[in-house]
Structures are given as structure tokens and as C-alpha cells.
Amino acid sequence: RVTPPLFDNGHSAPNIPFKLVGNHIVLPVRINNSTDLDIVLDTGMPVPEVGIMHNDVADGLKLDFLHDGPEIIVAGAGTDKPKTARIATGATISLPGVTFPNQRVSVADFPNMPNDGVIGQMIFGTCIVEIDYDQQYIHLHDPKHYSPPDEYSRIKLHPVVPGLGPY
């Protein structure tokens, strides 16, 4: 279960900048007060964790790896084959205006990946997400305190594979 996010201003984190790289939203994410990492926002990431794609990046994140945990196999990134991942728990994940405390991080080395990692269910499973492609911002909201403007339309997403996310 994902620990709910903590918003700096109560119930939302507006104007989180992103870079659009190809068709990917790349967010500035910090893990345990690291410098900004380039993390792809992935609607197909079905687990509530951050996946780090490079061992050398993970080495500087002060992660507390499980030593007796189960072996986790992560799907291949891009054209890479699946790999065994190391799992860390208790990490603090931060984006501008919001913190996700006590989170899980998986680390598997995918040297051909141009970004530092991926995030998905941790955000989509706990927040209302608005994406402003023109201004290149995302806005995160606590679902318990969010009322959409009247001009907004609700779009129900239906996963292709039930339980794995809307992709």
C-alpha cells in the first residue's frame, strides 16, 4: 500500500514542470534529497514505486536495500530483456510541492535507457493528475479535496489488462 502524499500547501501541488522528450513526460524527481533525477511519468507502471534504470544513479541515493527479500524481475525497458531488481524501502520521493514518504524503489541496470527511471502508480494511484502540455506542467491534487472546474469533462480510463493500468 502506498503512503499518501504530503502536499506543501495542503491539498495540491500545482505547476510541477516537466520536459516533453519524444512522447514522454519527464519529471524532476528527488529521492532521499538527491539532486533532480529525470524520471518518466509512465501510465503503464503498475506498481507503486520508482524504478531506477542505472546502478550508478542508485549508488548516490542513500537507499536502504532489502537483503532477505524476494527476487523481483522487472520487465525489459525499451529493447532490453527482463532483469533482476534490487529493492529498497523507506525512501522519500519528492517533486516540487509534494512528498511521498516511506516508498519503495526498485533498481535494475538498463544502460540503454536515456532517463534515470520511471514512476507511475505512485502518482496515478494517489492523486488526481492534470497535464498541461502547452505550458509543460503537471498539477497533482488530493482526490479527497478536489472538485473539477465546471468546464472539465470526466474521462473514465479502462485498462487493456485489468489491474495493470490505463495503457
Give the pLDDT of residue 82.
Answer: 85
Return the bridge partners of 20, or none.
25
pTM: 0.87
- Regarding predicted confidence, which is higher, 157 or 146? 146
Q: What are 5-64's pLDDT values in tens digits? A: 999 999 999 999 999 998 899 999 999 999 999 999 998 888 889 999 999 999 999 999
Q: What percent of the chain has pLDDT over 70?
A: 89
Please give the pLDDT value at position 54. Answer: 94
